[in-house]
Amino acid sequence: MAANASSDKEKALTSVLTQIERNFGKGSIMRLGEANRMQVETIPTGALTLDMALGGGLPRGRVIEIYGPESSGKTTLALHAIAEIQRQGGVAAFIDAEHALDPYYAENLGVNIEDLLISQPDTGEMGLEICDQLVRSSAVDLIVIDSVAALTPRAEIEGEMGDSHMGLQARLMSQALRKITGNIGKSQCTVIFLNQLRLKIGVTYGNPETTTGGNALKFYASVRLDIRRIQTLKKGNDQFGIRVKVKVAKNKVAPPFRVAEFDIIFGEGISILGCLLDIAEEHDIVVRKGAWYSFEGVNVGQGRDNTIIRMKEDPEFAQKVKDLVMAKLKPEAIPIEPGEEPILPPVEVDLDAIDAQAQAAVEDAEASTAEEKATKTKSRSKAKK
């Protein structure tokens, strides 16, 4: 009895799956085991410490939000991601809603400004529509929107100064994300939203900070990065950079709540060698004793800044440290003994038989439907008599 019920359910399932594929196309529904599963591809951020915290980098085909106070490194981080995707041969776009992009600074960070697509939209609707069209083209690998707070709705721009527009930007963002998210997954385009902080009014306990644009972006984003400036780097009385801390506030593709720190040098961007030195010290590849850093028992620099300068001046030394760091971070493969290798028999698949079975299931389902209709018609005619 149970076997018959199971067989009927399997026939019904095959029937409905076949019908769905006829109506919506092949691949519109499938078993997860049949899908082409693979690890989520990532884009390097330029900061090795942050890549480790993210589980490899920024995921492709996802929505990402980077938020924080002013001058904390949001745009710098996004420009480094653009530079990395361009090095891999990808296409990047920058939607400059703030109208504040500095092309010379972007070029210093390694961005190829000749190939970078840039748009400075007049309204929030225009900026998000451009983003949607770029995503649907499947020709762009990375889009940066700077920033959500500057995506001003058309009604607000055309209205008078002082007019109240309650929730207008939140509704705009919610509608745009509903449209864009599905296309992002198909095109494998990564969209980075940069966002600003605001303070909630009347909050006595808890964190009064919130991001602009409503709550929709918090839900649609696969990764949310909270970036803060924690230290100003000085040489004597001259300031030459900042040290920032990034907290992974949300991550759907790797463990969240990890923290990374790195230096941003004014005019140069993220200190790549500084990140490398931090990780090398963490894994005891470069050992720090007092103020001195030593590598393989030999002192290489007094103080962090001098060690980074030594790495700049000696590329072979820097490359050797990098190779050891990468070898340390790479997961170890578990060897399989020759006798333990699984030997699987070849599987023969008769596609004609499967098609015939599916067609028979459809015919059975149609026949049963016809019988049900006939039975209902008879019962109605009897009821009328």
Half-sphere exposure of 135 toward its Cβ, with a 13 Å CA cutoff?
29
Please tell me whether 69 is known to bind a ligand. yes
CA of residue 368 relative to chain centroid, distance: 48
What's the confidence (pLDDT) of residue 39?
66
For tokens 């149970």, the residue is: 2
What's the confidence (pLDDT) of residue 307?
92
Please tell me whether 73 is known to bind a ligand. yes
Asked if pLDDT for residue 38 goes beyond 60, the answer is no
Asked if pLDDT for residue 116 goes beyond 70, the answer is yes
Segment 276-289, tens digit of pLDDT: 999 999 999 999 98
Give residue 108's pLDDT band: very low, low, confident or very high (50, 70, 90).
Answer: very high
For tokens 């028999």, the residue is: 345
Biggest distance spanned by C-alpha atoms of the chain: 105
What's the confidence (pLDDT) of residue 112?
96
Q: Which of 45, 79, 39 is nearest to 61 (CA)?
A: 39
Segment 74-101, tens digit of pLDDT: 999 999 999 999 999 999 999 999 999 9
What's the confidence (pLDDT) of residue 369?
65
Helix (H) or strand (E) holding 120: none
Give residue 227's pLDDT band: very low, low, confident or very high (50, 70, 90).
Answer: very high
Burial of 87-101, coded b for 16+ CB within 10 Å and e otherwise, reads: eeebbbbbbbbbeeb
Break the chain down into helix, strand, coil percent, rounded to 5: 45, 20, 35
Domain ranges of the chain: 42-154+168-268, 271-330
**Rg, the chain, Cα only:** 28
Asked if pLDDT for residue 333 goes beyond 60, the answer is no
Query: Mean pLDDT, to the nearest integer, of 117-137?
Result: 95
Please tell me whether 74 is known to bind a ligand. yes
Segment 65-76, tens digit of pLDDT: 999 999 999 999
Asked if pLDDT for residue 337 goes beyond 60, the answer is no
Q: Which of 176, 175, 154 is nearest to 165 (CA)?
A: 154
**What Å distances lie between residue 12 and 18, 102, 356, 357, 362, CA to CA?**
10, 61, 15, 12, 8
Please tell me whether 153 is known to bind a ligand. no
Q: Which residues, other chains included, contact 100 with Cβ-Cβ below 8 Å and sequence gap of 6+?
A: 146
Asked if pLDDT for residue 363 goes beyond 90, the answer is no
Q: Which two tokens stand for residue 258?
A: 């990890």
Asked if pLDDT for residue 192 goes beyond 90, the answer is yes
Strand ranges in the chain using DSSP code E only, listed in sequence order: 42-43, 58-59, 63-67, 92-96, 117-119, 142-146, 190-195, 197-199, 209-211, 223-235, 238-251, 259-265, 269-270, 286-289, 292-295, 298-302
Strand ranges in 19-67 using DSSP code E only, listed in sequence order: 42-43, 58-59, 63-67
Asked if pLDDT for residue 273 goes beyond 60, the answer is yes
Residues 329 and 52: beta-carbon distance below 8 Å: yes
Give residue 27's pLDDT band: very low, low, confident or very high (50, 70, 90).
Answer: confident
Supply the mean pLDDT for the chain.
86
Please tell me whether 70 is known to bind a ligand. yes
Please tell me whether 72 is known to bind a ligand. yes
CATH class of 271-330: alpha beta
Query: Mean pLDDT, to the nearest integer, of 244-261?
Result: 94
Q: Which two tokens stand for residue 57?
A: 């980098």
What's the confidence (pLDDT) of residue 31?
76
Please tell me whether 274 is known to bind a ligand. no
Give residue 122's pLDDT band: very low, low, confident or very high (50, 70, 90).
Answer: very high
What's the confidence (pLDDT) of residue 13?
87
Report the predicted TM-score, pTM, of the whole model to 2 decimal places: 0.79
Segment 203-215, tens digit of pLDDT: 888 889 999 999 9
CATH class of 42-154+168-268: alpha beta
Asked if pLDDT for residue 257 goes beyond 60, the answer is yes
Q: Categorise residue 357: left if φ over 0, alpha if ψ from -120 to 50, beta otherwise.
A: alpha
Q: Cis peptide leading into 174, omega within 30 of 0?
A: no
